[in-house]
Amino acid sequence: MKAPASSLIALFFAVTLPNYAAETADANGLKYRFVRGQTNAYQVTLESTAAEERMKFSGVVFVDSGKVVEGVAAVRLSGGLKSEGLHGPATPFPGPYGFPHPLLRQPMGFYPIFEVRVDDLGRLLREPGVTPALPVPLGSLPEVLFQPLPAPGETESQATAGLWIEDETPPGDGGYGGRYAGPYYPGRPQALLAATRTVTAKLGETTADSVTITKKIEMESRLRSGNVPRLRATAEGEVVFDRQRGCLRSVEFRCDSTVTTETLTLRRPFVLTVRLLEGDELAKALKAESERAQPAPPISAEALAKFVADLEADDQERRQVALARLQNAKIESPTPELLAAAVKLSGAADSFARNVAMQLLGKYGTTEQLTAMLRLLKNADAGNRHELLVGLRRIGDLRAIEPLADLIARGNYDADYAAEVLGNFGPAAEGAGLALLKEKHADTRRRACTVLARAGTAKCLDALKEQMLDPDQQVSSAATEAARAVCARCGEEGE
């Protein structure tokens, strides 16, 4: 199992089972038979019950059964929640994922579709490399989502397993919380804790239409603070399974976790309820999801002006909402005011603001914003530099040649794409490519060949021939291909 974060992002999926048909009428012989192409929708309510952090989330989640082969189905998960708590009435989280939230390490949105493979006994066979993590003690989304069913004749079961969970740093205990719109954010994981998790399940009331399974989960970290576990968590609840329709009808889990350090104790109680939507409610939910999936229309001039004005507001949440909206908006006519705001944001201490600024400048920046773009190119985090490179390629200003060559020489994460961008400047970039060809590192010389394959003239052929003898096979191959490209181009140009 992957180490779960202390996050409520996907709590609403906690026991959302795929659409099945019951294979037998006996509660002790339950199996799941997936129906391809059928989608269930669930109304989900998630509520923190801590007196100091009262908050509530609600939304609809979708479970869609795909291809089924010999009892194994590909099941897609999607959906999202909106806040009804501390942030005012029903304010949707912006962006594809939303902001981090109190008690959560991950945002509440779950619009990207995740696919898992599960068999007719509820056993998880395959999951994505990165999946939403549930707060302790519920485990990862797929593990909780596809719980094994009781074996024939079995009325009670108990299983204990060891696992790793992410440690937490409560507020005021030295952790870094980061910046976001809202109260306390629990911060980045500091370490992994070895823990023991025990799951007890028992068949309850059984009728012709449904079966109830009661479940209790207990988790304790092996690391202790004094005479108590550093992290202890419990969850108790009931799952009502519809035997006629072969799918989840409702669920309620009452959960509690306690983190204890040398200086303080942090307790986090919360309740999850899930209800299957039917009839008109189901039709309304499916229609809303279909409309949401349609491409967003271009942002209007009036809305754009409002978002740009919000970036100057003293209210941090207004700024964050505007940033998220601009990050994902389709802007057909970017204004000078927007680009000026992006330049200003490029120097912000808030990493989210800087990232949005990079995206805006990469998509819409001009030569007037080139200085800011080149500064960001040098200082940006590796994973957030691609938009800038796309923008520099689009603008084509020769002032970008030296910074691009410097990025390639430093061997950054996206140096390969930077080499492609630099090569697009044509013969003006040949000198930079030849200089990179003299660098010590083989990867840099290989990328220099990429530059010269696009930008080189007959002047670079001798240098490329030397690299064709390089003992590094990747360098020699790249030099050979570059020399062929240059000779073909020179021949076409009559040089």
Q: Which residues contact 284 (CB under 8 A, 6 or more apart)?
A: none
Half-sphere exposure of 309 (CA within 13 A, CB side): 6
CATH fold match for the domains 11-293 and 301-493:
no
How far apart (Å, rounded) are the C-alpha atoms in residues 285 and 293?
12
Half-sphere exposure of 482 (CA within 13 A, CB side): 37
Give residue-wise pLDDT tens across range 270-326. 888 888 899 999 999 988 888 776 666 788 888 889 988 988 888 888 888 888 888
Peptide bond preceding 128 in cis form (omega within 30 of 0): no
How would residue 261 be classed by pLDDT, with cut points 50, 70 and 90?
Answer: confident
Q: Note whether 420 and 454 are within 8 A (CB).
A: yes
Does this model's pTM top 0.95? no
**How do strand 231-242 and strand 265-276 relate by DSSP bridges?**
unpaired
Cα 215 to Cα 140, 243, 270: the distances in Å are 16, 18, 16
Q: Note whether 180 and 218 are within 8 A (CB).
A: no
Q: Supply 292's token pair.
A: 């949401």
- Which of 71-80, 86-95, 208-217 holds the top average pLDDT? 208-217
How far apart (Å, rounded) are the C-alpha atoms in residues 196 and 233?
11
Lowest mean pLDDT among 46-55, 129-138, 160-169: 129-138
Where in 351-473 does DSSP place strands (E)? none
How far apart (Å, rounded) are the C-alpha atoms in residues 67 and 453?
45
Domain boundaries, the chain: 11-293, 301-493
- 50 phi/psi in degrees, rounded to 5: -70, 135
pLDDT for the residue 240: 85
pLDDT for the residue 381: 59
- 480 phi/psi in degrees, rounded to 5: -60, -45
Average pLDDT value for residue range 226-238: 93
Average pLDDT value for residue range 157-182: 61
pLDDT for the residue 405: 94
How far apart (Å, rounded) are the C-alpha atoms in residues 478 and 454?
12
How far apart (Å, rounded) are the C-alpha atoms in residues 237 and 255?
9
Cα 402 to chain centroid, rounded: 34
What's the CA angle centered on 144, arms 84 and 214, to 5 degrees?
90
* 3-state helix/strand/coil string of 314-337: CCHHHHHHHHHHHHHCCCCCCCHH
pLDDT for the residue 453: 93
Q: What is the amino acid identity at position 3? A: A
Average pLDDT value for residue range 175-195: 49
Q: Which residue has the higher pLDDT, 54 or 130?
A: 54
Res 460 pLDDT > 90: yes
Q: Note whether 194 and 164 are within 8 A (CB).
A: yes
Beta bridge partners of 218: 198, 234
H-assigned helices in 91-206: 141-145
Does the domain made of 301-493 have the CATH classification 1.25.10.10? yes
Q: In the chain, what is the straight-line distance between the N-terminal and C-terminal CA atoms, in Å?
A: 62
pLDDT for the residue 96: 35
How would residue 192 be classed by pLDDT, with cut points 50, 70 and 90?
Answer: confident
Question: What CATH number is given for 11-293 in this structure?
Answer: 2.30.230
Residue with tokens 């989960």: 217
How would residue 100 be classed by pLDDT, with cut points 50, 70 and 90?
Answer: very low
Q: Output DSSP code: residue 81.
A: E
Q: Output DSSP code: residue 87.
A: T
118: how many CB neighbours lie within 10 A of its CB?
24
Mean pLDDT of the chain: 78
Q: Note whether 377 and 388 are within 8 A (CB).
A: yes
Average pLDDT value for residue range 322-342: 87
Q: If DSSP codes are grouped into helix, strand and coil, which group holds residue 242? A: strand
Cα dihedral 146, 150, 156, 161 in deg (nearest 10)? -50
Average pLDDT value for residue range 451-480: 93
Q: Supply 440's token pair.
A: 């010590």
pLDDT for the residue 163: 87
How far apart (Å, rounded) are the C-alpha atoms in residues 72 and 36?
11
